[in-house]
Amino acid sequence: MAELRMTTPRLLVLQALLNDLDTERYGLDLAKEAGLEPGTIYPILVAFENAGWLTSRAEDIDVHAEGRPRRRYYRLTPAGADAARAALAKAAQRRTSRATSGRLAW
């Protein structure tokens, strides 16, 4: 499992994915829940998938009948869910240690 640099947008996406592990989620839905712009979310999802944290599949629809593009659905792998929980816990620990150290964050 690849080690990824955790940014605030990546942590927001992980939290959104963890909120409902049993449901496949598509990019725009995740962007809305995470409070991110749609263009921001897709590079994050690609990075997570390349790291083995996510699986994805293309929706099987007739795009003309539906009147919209085909969606790609994402779901955390079991290892990805563990990695997401660990990343969020580590970020929370860093915030707590900064707050109690009396030092400025920058």
For 8-95, give the CATH class.
Answer: mainly alpha
Place of tokens 């790291």: 51
Domains in the chain: boundaries: 8-95
What's the CA gap between 93 and 21, in Å, rounded?
23
Could you tell me the pTM of the whole model? Answer: 0.84
List, for residues 9-67, the tens digit of each pLDDT value.
999 999 999 999 999 999 999 999 999 998 999 999 999 999 999 999 999 999 999 99
Helix, strand, coil percentages in the chain from 3-state DSSP, rounded to 5: 55, 10, 30
CB contact set of 36 (below 8 Å; sequence gap of 6+): 9, 12, 13
